[in-house]
Chain A
Amino acid sequence: MSLDRDTLLDIYTRTMKVARFDEKMRSLLMSGKLATIYYTMRGQELVTSAMMAALNQDDYLVTTYRGQHDQIAKGVPLDLLIAEIAGRATGTCKGKGGSMHITHPATGVMVTTGVVGSGLPIANGLALSSQNRKDGKVTVTCFGDGATNIGAFHEAMNMAQLYKLPVIFLCQNNRYGEHTAFADHTRVDSIVTRAAAYGMKGVKVDGNDAVAMYAAAKEAVDRARAGEGPTLIEAMCYRMMGHFFGADFSYMPPEHIEEMKAEDPLPKLNALMLEHQFTQAELDAIVAKLEAEIEAAVEFAFSSPFPDADEIRKDVFEEEIAA
């Protein structure tokens, strides 16, 4: 399969938006301008951009603490996102959520959870709602390789297949769960083998290959929309840095580091674009535009006010808590 130029350009733009955003965040953290917990997605940019390119704006997404790429690729406005990460009143969640809890229903981002594996059962509920209402929406839930060892994964996979829910389980297998390598937390070679245990369709794909990743995503979306039920996608990728920004990753063996550098999705995608007769100048122009957008978003975020202390009494319940 090959990709048409529009789709390719779409994937490229989403990917580079994520990549430049991530660079900016790391530089803000490094310089001390921003102080917060931040889980970089360096190395996983393409997986999610290809997935989101296969979705509609109103499809649902449930993701994790390492989910800023998922949210951006899904369409969360950068200014609101960065303001939220910086704890400002203008953020998506008024500064009450932060990077681990980004929510933006307007772009379908319904939940971002900091609890490993908890997004899967919730994704089923969103999909169950779509099934009952026949609204044609598809739900995608992103999680890591480590998350497949928590009970919630098992319960959710079984229920999704039982009800044939329009949900896609996108496992971004970055080969580590915190400091623990894949082979040290799981006996099977591939997570996708587990799909069979639920009678579910499973696909393993190279998440750094735009063509293959998009094909897998598209097929899963089409199946879900057609009422054919869920798919487990295991997208192979690398976590090219520590677990969170600033964390040590000296536990990664040198061979692993060599391997992941060779598989870096960004240069690979650039080469693919050139193969498809995009010029480097065209691509650079796209990136320059994205960089300007990111600068403006950062400016917006840092010039925004902090939330009012009264916010603590709001949104606990529908009715405000008395002072």
Chain B
Amino acid sequence: MSEAETLEAVAPRAKKPKQITMVQALNAAIDEAMAADEGVILLGEDVGAKQGGGVFKVSSGLTEKYGEHRIRATPISEQAIMGACVGAALTGMRPIAEIMLMNFVTVAMDQIVNHAAKLRFMSGGQTNVPMVIRTTTGVGVGFGGQHSDMLEAWFAHVPGLKIVTPSNAADARGLMRSAIECNDPVIFIENILCYGLKSDDPGTDYRVPLGQAAIAREGSDVSLITYGRTVLDALEVAETLAAESVSVEVIDLRTIAPFDEATVTASVRKTGRAVVLHEAVRAYGTGAEIASRLHESLFNELKAPVQRIGGAFSAVPMASVLEQAWIPKKEEIAAAIRTTMDWKR
């Protein structure tokens, strides 16, 4: 026997964990939740077996398992989808509304903002709306102005809504389970460009608690705070800057609202510098809120003003060159970090 063969025989290599894509992770989390609770139902356009399990296949195989009463393929009626989910949630069911693309959420805003978000409060706690609004979006695939927006800041401004976005498949699985179990409405933003990303499968019944950011990479000089797809850019930039001896800590918020102030503040207190990065339009974005909070709480400890990076102030353009000009670039992120490093009081 060769040396390798001997080793194999004596100590079989630890089995490599199975890998899953974000789409598979979401499908698995919804499947598990549906198996565990009859009240979990899914409403959306094209989500049924007859339609092939959804445009992005997230509900693939679920109709076969749970039937058309629980996987409801709907007409193109976002208000009706959202309202039906609100109503079902009021009775203790845990509906998931699939809104094909985030821009289409705008035609259902009344149900989200005036109803889902407020019914617990306006009823004095007699009712609540445990629903998940799943939606996808993303800049970089040439979908143009009405199919690419990140609108999380709109929702973060509304009391009563929680907003979640995963940057990797494992988190997607864990966050989706937690979102479905949450007793308040959760907006779950998926980035089209992340659907194919693979992680080690965290397995069944995996949960990532809502409201908890993750330190995606530890560092000591600057805190780079972001969420969703731009976590990938942040990690790349951190790697590049490590070569220049700048140690970047990358924070993946995972839950955008409520904001994990404890984790972020602790990181920035440690590094003394912060850059906030998101794909959404920079102006009036969540980055402004985060930067403001950091200035309020850590003004004396900050070594430089908090920098913000986000999308340009225009509709998302279609032409690839324009789209790439619109989106936050890695050089911009690196430049913002250097700005904080070079800041002189």
Q: A123 to chain B: which residues have CB within 8 Å? A: 87
A124 within 8 A of B: yes
Across-interface contacts of B41 in A (CB, < 8 A): 128, 132
Task: With both chains docked as a complex, state the minimum distance between the C-beta of B22 and any C-beta of chain A, in angstroms.
Answer: 27
Docked complex Cα distance between A60 and B90 (Å): 11
In the assembled complex, A127 has its CB within 8 A of some CB on chain B: yes
Q: Residue A93 contacts which of B122, B159, B184 (CB distance < 8 angstroms)? A: B122
Q: What residues of chain A lie closer than 8 Å to B77, measured between beta carbons?
A: 155, 158-159
- Asked whether, in the complex, the Cβ of A124 is within 8 Å of the Cβ of B87, the reply is yes
In the complex, chain B residues 72-95 whose Cβ is within 8 Å of any chain A Cβ: 72, 74-75, 77-80, 82-91, 93, 95
| Residues B127 and A121 in contact, CB atoms below 8 Å apart | no
Q: Per a CB cutoff under 8 Å, which of B70, B90, B121 touches A132?
A: B70
**Across the two chains, which residue of chain B brings its CB closest to A98?**
B122
Stretch at the interface among A3-11, A105-113, A279-287: A105-113
Given the known interface contacts A121-B84, A122-B90, A152-B80, the answer about A92 and B111 at a Cβ–Cβ threshold of 8 Å is no
Is there contact, CB below 8 Å, between A110 and B115?
A: no
User: How distant is the Cα of A97 from the Cα of B120 in the complex, in angstroms?
Assistant: 10
Across the interface, name the chain B residue whose C-beta is closest to A316: B159
Inter-chain contact A94/B83, CB cutoff 8 Å: no
Chain A residues near B114 (CB-CB < 8 A) = 113, 115, 118
Q: Would B80 and A124 count as touching, CB distance under 8 A?
A: yes
CA of A9 to CA of B160, assembled, Å: 44
CB interface residues, A 91-143, toward B, < 8 Å: 91-97, 101, 103-105, 110-111, 113, 115, 118, 120-133, 139
Q: Give how many B residues have a beta carbon under 8 Å from the other chain's beta carbons.
A: 43
A251: B residues at CB distance < 8 A = none
Cα–Cα, bound, A15→B70 (Å): 40
Give the residues in chain B near A162, CB-CB below 8 Å: 75
CB of B199 closer than 8 Å to a CB of A = no
Asked if A92 contacts B126 (CB within 8 A), the reply is yes
The reply on A163 being an interface residue by CB < 8 A is yes
**B183 contacts the other chain (CB 8 A):** yes
B35 to chain A, nearest CB (A): 16
Contact A155–B115 (Cβ < 8 Å): no
Determine if A315 is an interface residue (Cβ-Cβ < 8 Å). Answer: yes
Known contacts being A92-B126, A129-B93, A162-B75, is A316 close to B120, with CB within 8 Å?
yes
* CB-based contact A317/B90 at 8 Å: no
Which of A103, A155, A158 touches B119 (beta carbons < 8 Å)?
A103
**Residues of the B chain whose Cβ atoms lie less than 8 Å from the Cβ of A130:** 91
Contact flags A291-320 to B (C-beta < 8 A → 1, else 0): 000000000000000000000001111100
Judge whether A240 is part of the interface by a CB distance below 8 angstroms: no
| Shortest Cβ distance from residue A84 to the other chain B in the assembled complex, whole angstroms | 8
Are B69 and A132 in contact, with the CB atoms below 8 A?
yes
A321 → B minimal CB distance (Å): 8
Q: Complex: how many Å from CA A163 to CA B48? A: 14
**How far does the Cβ of A89 sit from chain B's closest Cβ, in whole Å?**
9
Are A97 and B122 in touch, CB under 8 angstroms?
yes
Q: Verify if A32 is at the interface (C-beta below 8 Å from B).
A: no
**Does B314 make an interface contact (CB < 8 A)?**
no
**Given A126-B88, A129-B93, A158-B75: A93 and B83 within 8 A (CB)?**
no
A122 adjacent to B115 (CB under 8 Å) = yes
By the criterion CB–CB under 8 Å, are A317 and B84 in contact?
Answer: no
Asked if B127 and A105 make an inter-chain contact with CB atoms under 8 angstroms apart, the answer reads yes
Please state if A156 and B83 are interface contacts (CB–CB under 8 Å): yes
Contact (Cβ within 8 A) B88 A315: no
User: Contact between B126 and A111 (Cβ–Cβ < 8 Å)?
Assistant: no
> Once the chains bind, are A121 and B82 in contact (CB under 8 Å)?
yes
Whether A253 is near chain B, meaning CB under 8 Å from some CB there, is: no
Taking the complex as formed, is A267 at the interface, i.e. its CB lies under 8 A from any CB of chain B? Answer: no
Interface centre among A125, A130, A131 (most CB of B within 10 A): A125
B212 adjacent to chain A (CB < 8 Å): no
Q: Are B122 and A124 in contact (CB under 8 A)?
A: no
Residue of A nearest to B182 (CB): A318
| B12 interfacial contact with A, CB 8 Å | no
Q: Output the residue of B72, B79, B80, B93 with the most chain A CB within 10 A.
A: B80
Closest chain-A Cβ to B148's Cβ sits at a distance in Å of 24
Question: A254: CB under 8 A from chain B?
Answer: no
CB contacts (< 8 Å) of A318 on chain B: these are 120, 128, 183-184
Q: Known contacts A125-B84, A126-B91; decide if A118 and B125 are in contact (CB<8 Å).
A: no
Complex-state Cα separation, A111 to B127, whole angstroms: 9
A94 to chain B, nearest CB (A): 4
Q: What A residues does B75 contact at CB under 8 A?
A: 155, 158-159, 162
Contact of B90 with A151 in the complex, beta carbons under 8 Å? no
B-contact 0/1 string along A146-168, CB 8 Å cutoff = 00000110011011001100000
A96 in complex: contacting residue of B38, B84, B124, B183, CB < 8 Å = B124
Q: For the complex formed, measure the closest distance between the CB of B239 and the CB atoms of chain A, giving whole angstroms.
A: 37
Complex contact B90–A316 (CB within 8 A): no
Once the chains bind, are A127 and B184 in contact (CB under 8 Å)?
A: no
> Given A124-B80, A158-B77, A159-B74, A93–B90 Cβ distance below 8 Å?
no
Task: Considering the complex, give the chain A residue whose CB is closest to the CB of B82.
Answer: A121
Residues of A within 8 A of B95 (CB): 125
Residue pair A155, B80 in contact (C-beta under 8 Å): yes
Contact B125 A315, beta carbon cutoff 8 Å: yes
Provide a sorted-by-A list of 26 A–B residue pairs whose CB atoms are within 8 angstroms. Answer: A93-B122, A103-B124, A103-B127, A104-B126, A115-B110, A118-B83, A118-B111, A121-B83, A121-B111, A122-B90, A122-B111, A124-B87, A125-B85, A125-B87, A125-B95, A128-B72, A129-B88, A131-B69, A132-B41, A132-B70, A156-B80, A158-B77, A159-B84, A315-B123, A318-B128, A318-B184
Closest 8 CB pairs of A and B: A125-B87, A121-B83, A94-B124, A93-B124, A103-B123, A155-B80, A155-B77, A125-B84
Q: Which residues of B contact A (CB under 8 A)?
A: 38, 41, 69-70, 72, 74-75, 77-80, 82-91, 93, 95, 110-111, 114-115, 119-128, 159-160, 162, 183-184, 258
